[in-house]
A and B are shown apart, each in its own frame.
Chain A
Amino acid sequence: MTRARAREFRTGTVALYAALVVFGALSLLPLLWMLSASFMAQGEATTFPPALLPRNPTLVHYRDLFGRLALGRYAMNSALVATVTTIGALAINASAGYAFAKLRFRGRDATFRAMAAGLAIPVQVAMLPLFLLIKSLGLVNNYGGVIIPGLSSIFGIFLVRQYALAIPDDLLDAARIDGASEFRVFRSIVLPTIQPVLATLALWTFLATWNDFMWPLIVLSDDAKYTLPVALAGLVGEHAQDVELMMAGAVITVLPVLILFLMLQRYYVEGVTEGSVK
């Protein structure tokens, strides 16, 4: 490489990284400001020019949220709904995905194709019929009505199936010959093998359920049963001017998901690379 070419190459790299830093900062800025504003005194966030950092950091909004506004209860509601849905979805999607990938039964491929076609239907279209179904089951204003529709998803089954297709048949046959029952094959061989995709699925399901606003709003009518996003939306109506309080609420909503992502990141990333090499 000549010196001119080397310099050209280096300039290109520097420009690329500079652009990445700018875009990274741009996407991070609102999040950081959200965090910063949640510690500001009332009215400070709406001054002009807007303040970047709180002059006198305060926890008053958090105290307000958990005390006066009882957000703790809503957070618990959300945690319950998201955790139960995630565990259930893992069990159901993992077994269904594995069955579609590896077990032989009549009508398997036709069923799977029909299901995959369902991926194209927007969620909103299904909401009314789903609500009527939930209503006929008597699950309106019941956590069951929020949780059950999330317990299995076409996308989740699809995700697991694609991953499970890569499991060699010999591996399953070896376990069968070793004396394992079909359930034991699933538990002792399949589940550990598809662990990376399960981490992805867990994260994705938890995220979707935790953040879901529309469906809990439709199903739940009792104020005490609200999940965090629904309760927070209620706050917007009452406290539209109170930007700092809103930001503290947003922090509480984002935080658990962020922590979960950091915890599962190792498996998540591992899954991405392993899938490409194998």
Chain B
Amino acid sequence: MTGIGATRASNAATVALQGVRKEYESGVVAVHGVDLTVNAGEFVVLVGPSGCGKSTTLRMVAGLESITAGTLTIDGRVVNDVPPSDRDIAMVFQSYALYPHMSVRDNMAFALKLRKRPAAEIAERVSAAASTLGLATMLDRTPRQLSGGQRQRVAIGRAIVREPSVFLFDEPLSNLDAALRSEMRRELATLHRRLGATMLYVTHDQVEAMTLGDRIVVMHEGRVRQVDSPGELYDHPHDTFVAGFLGSPPMNLLPGALIQRDGRWFAQLADAPALEIPLPEQLTEVALRSRASSIIVGVRPEHLVARPMQPDEPPGESLAATVELAEPLGHEQLLHLRAGAMSFTVRGAPGVRPAVGSTVSVRMSLERLHLFDAASGVSLRA
């Protein structure tokens, strides 16, 4: 039992990838060796931009792509060379992949029929899944008579009736419109809590990743950049890629340097050398340990505050910036600012909308600063 209302499916399996690598015959390396363990009953999301290797990784777990090197185990059994049909997995595709000539009922029953389950059991499991997903009245329709959202429900239903030890999802919500997507997202979260099944989910949508995942795997260019809980990823990104990928608008990444004066450490921005940002204590230690000469200062838009410039504002405590664009979003507004060659975004409460071209004064909450090595992009905390 993990948490309130959560049960673990009796057959939920642990999936472990050790150095799993995919290299095509052309020599292109799609996945450079992934190490990841998905615990039984856990919901893990693979996220990253297109071409990062997340779908290939999922397809290797499914058995639809061969594994060039490394070991894949499901429930302790090495399955590198086991065909997809014998891995006890179910997969939901972005394109739904419903059998077009079969009714909804037959689509859901297909896998059970192949496994030669008794007809009564098939009927029972199909109708249970159908009522869970609100498809009970549509069992005799064919896929072409369904809307996009209903088709996706059938695809999920087809996976549920299997009661597999692992669920795989390949961008299942990408073909749905925004409203339906957020509805299905909630349903998937509920479903996971109820089934307690192991789920591995691929998406490029950071909102899906943040809301669904117990843990998130951020991938980039065929490599895993960070594996962590959503909160950890957001608060302590391992490198500039993760920092820039999660969060909308993304974290501001500003080039700068670390300087030491009178025993105290300061971060200095390349485009605003007059501003010396005193580092809080925990970052001072980090700065001491690191030998990075040039750094990147990361600060999330919500950790910056912009106010109209006061005439008697002392220089060196805040940053003067020009408003390039103000985007009111109703519950908040985004200010796109420029100071020198540096542009960045500030998230603030709605209210007085500063005129484009006017100057504002920007302060930052020092505790929420992130420092990255400019050369490697890796966080100095790491």
Contact = CB atoms under 8 A, between A and B. Distances in A.
B375 interface: no
A108 interface: no
Contact of A192 (B64, B84, B101, B111): B101
A168 B110 contact: no
A156 B62 CA distance: 34
B85 A180 contact: yes
B99 A171 contact: yes
B330 interface: no
Contacts of A193: 100-101
Q: Of B97, B158, B162, which is in contact with the most chain A CB atoms at under 10 Å from its CB?
A: B97
A173 B99 contact: no
A181 B115 CA distance: 11
A110 interface: no
Most chain-A CB neighbours within 10 Å: which of B63, B64, B115?
B64
B114 interface: yes
Interface string B95-119: 1011111000000001100110000
Contact of A168 (B64, B97, B158): B97
Q: How many A residues touch the partner, as a band?
A: 10 to 19
Contacts of A174: 91, 93, 97-99, 158
B89 interface: yes
A176 interface: yes
A174 B151 CA distance: 14
Q: Give the contact-size bracket for chain B.
A: 20 to 34
Contacts of A170: 93-95, 97
A64 to B, nearest CB: 49
A86 B13 CA distance: 49
A175 B110 CA distance: 8
B354 to A, nearest CB: 49
A179 B95 contact: no
B95 A168 contact: yes
A213 to B, nearest CB: 39
Given A168-B97, A173-B64, A173-B93, A178 B111 contact: yes
A41 interface: no
B90 interface: yes
Contacts of B85: 176-181
Contacts of A63: none
B83 interface: yes
A173 B101 contact: no
A188 B102 CA distance: 10
A130 B84 CA distance: 44
B84 A177 contact: yes
Interface in B181-240: none
| B84, B95, B158 — most chain A CB neighbours (10 Å) | B84
Interface string B155-178: 000100010000000000000000
A173 B84 contact: yes
Interface string B56-99: 00000011100000000000000000011100011101110111
A176 B93 contact: no
Contacts of A188: 99, 110
6 contacts: A170-B95, A171-B99, A174-B98, A177-B84, A178-B162, A180-B114
